[in-house]
Amino acid sequence: MKTMKKKVFDIIQIGEKGNTPSIVFDYVLMANIILNILVVVLETFEQLSPYQGLFTVVEIITTIFFCVEYVLRIWTADLLFPEKGSVGSRLKFMVSFDGVVCLLTIIPVFFFSGMVVFRMLRVVRILHLFRLNKKYDSFHVIASVIREKSRQILSSLFIIFILMLAGSVLMYNAEHAAQPDVFKNAFSGFWWSVTTILTIGYGDIYPVTTMGTILATILSFLGVGAVAIPTGIISAGFVERFTRDENALKEFKDVERIGEIYIEDGSELEYKTIDEIQKEYGMTVYLIVRDELPIIAERSLVVYEGDILITLSDKIRKKAQ
């Protein structure tokens, strides 16, 4: 018999096939997010100012829903992170991506006439939409590619920064005498180098001297190549990832010692990450079948009730109790 906390936890988690209350909750959550964001957008139109009262009521109602959801997630956090204990699990949720987004979504409604920064925080609620996508493979693929290529991306961004800094100093020295009001200092040159290298080209600052024009031409060509570096790294990362996944699937088809582990309610594997399962039980998890959808087993993926783990191990268990 499930406890009340377990029932609530199952409902507020991403809905699984056959769990109607949880699926309904997901749709209600999505409707609240979309409605809340729509209100934020409509409030910016002066023509709709007569409906400001209605917008405020809608925002308050949807925010109350977010408050209740936030409280319930804190209450059931020990089921999401059972290894952290009662207090530790709640603290971990509060500092997690979901917890921070939930909190930043709630705060602005209490400052309708307060600081601008609190009103701007309402845009953060758009990030709620990512939560509805986290059970599928697409979000994890993007995150894993960026994580795998983080060093190369940071290196390329550092190169771009050095190029901008060098361009700003050179342009200041070349143009300051001719345009002292425009290129007042190196920072003015830095703004010009940013708009040039990133191909924004506002045109508010531009060189008028021969030397400045030559420098601008050279920097523009260098900027095209520099900006393309991180784009190429990420693109190559996606190609490598999909090639690796395809090869893993081909290898998986030839494996003889394979098995399936069905995750039942109360299973010792439930709510563990793939990385924790592989380290603790010495098995290799290739795929997760969730709602009849095969998902590549990312190390950070959390296992839920109803999942089927496709594994390779010396001691294969057909079902985890």
pLDDT tens by residue, 107-127: 766 665 554 555 566 666 566
Q: How confident is the model at residue 316 (pLDDT cuts 50, 70, 90)?
A: very low
The predicted model scores a pTM of 0.54
Instruction: Give the Cβ contact number of residue 127 at 10 Å.
Output: 16
CATH for the stretch 150-245: 1.10.287.70
CATH 3.40.190.10 fits 255-320, yes or no: no
What was the pLDDT predicted at 128? 60
DSSP string, 3-51: -HHHHHHHHHSPPPTT-HHHHHHHHHHHHHHHHHHHHHHHTT-GGGGGG
- The C-alpha atoms of residue 18 and residue 292 are separated, in whole angstroms, by 12
Least confident of 24-33, 47-56, 89-98, 265-274: 265-274
Least confident of 80-94, 101-115, 164-178, 274-288: 101-115
Closest CA to 63 of 45, 46, 39: 39
What was the pLDDT predicted at 272? 83
What was the pLDDT predicted at 246? 65
Is it true that 4-132 and 150-245 share their CATH fold? no
Least confident of 107-111, 124-128, 144-148, 237-241: 124-128
What was the pLDDT predicted at 312? 67
Average pLDDT over residues 156-161: 87
Residue 5, amino acid = K
- What's the CATH architecture for 4-132? Up-down Bundle (1.20)
- The C-alpha atoms of residue 306 and residue 289 are separated, in whole angstroms, by 9
In the chain, what are the domain boundaries? 4-132, 150-245, 255-320
Distance of CA 67 to the CA centre of its chain: 22
- The C-alpha atoms of residue 121 and residue 110 are separated, in whole angstroms, by 12
Distances in Å between the alpha carbon of 122 and those of 54, 109, 189, 212, 281? Answer: 17, 8, 34, 43, 43
Structure confidence by residue, pLDDT tens digits, 186-216 = 777 888 888 887 777 666 788 888 988 898 8
Structure confidence by residue, pLDDT tens digits, 130-142 = 655 555 555 667 7
Comparing 97 with 50, the larger pLDDT belongs to: 50
Closest CA to 109 of 97, 125, 122, 99: 122
CB 62 within 8 A of CB 36: yes
Query: In sequence order, what are the residues at sequence separation of 6 or more whose Cβ sits closer than 8 angstroms to the Cβ of residue 94?
Result: 74, 100, 103
User: Which residues does residue 294 pair with via DSSP β-bridges, in sequence order?
Assistant: 289
